[in-house]
Amino acid sequence: EDKVVQSPLSLVVHEGDTVTLNCSYEVTNFRSLLWYKQEKKAPTFLFMLTSSGIEKKSGRLSSILDKKELFSILNITATQTGDSAIYLCAVENSGNTPLVFGKGTRLSVIA
């Protein structure tokens, strides 16, 4: 059975801290791994990763995939209160199949 495991489930940090969110997976026909940020509504897209070792970066957020060890990390540097959200990791199999989601990491950034 396909599964995606995220850790930690919940995290509280102070503004300015750097955080690393983890996502490990076991799926049958891996195509890509995606990170989403969810605040009050539907998830919003952050990154799609398909190749190992290539870091994707967007501002203070970055992510990398290790296809050999089957995991990805999402880094957020110099955190701000606006980064408080649930971060979801999802894995896509080949074919037009639904994403397999992890349970998410709830990040709270306090001033």
Partner 1 sequence: GAVVSQHPSWVICKSGTSVKIECRSLDFQATTMFWYRQFPKQSLMLMATSNEGSKATYEQGVEKDKFLINHASLTLSTLTVTSAHPEDSSFYICSARDPPGMNAFFGQGTRLTVV
Binding site for partner 1 (CB under 8 A): 31-32, 34, 41-45, 48, 88, 90, 92, 94-99, 101-104, 106
Which of 77/94 has CB closer to partner 1? 94
Which of 4/19 has CB closer to partner 1? 4
How far apart CA 43 and CA 55 sit, in angstroms, is 21
One-letter amino acid of 66: D
For 2, 35, 61, 93, 94, the CA distances from 98, given in Å and listed in that order, are 11, 15, 25, 8, 10
What minimum distance in Å lies between the beta carbon of 40 and partner 1? 9
What minimum distance in Å lies between the beta carbon of 46 and partner 1? 10
H or E segment and range at residue 19: strand 19-26
Which of 19/46 has CB closer to partner 1? 46
Contact between 100 and 23 under an 8 Å Cβ cutoff? The reply is no
What minimum distance in Å lies between the beta carbon of 9 and partner 1? 10
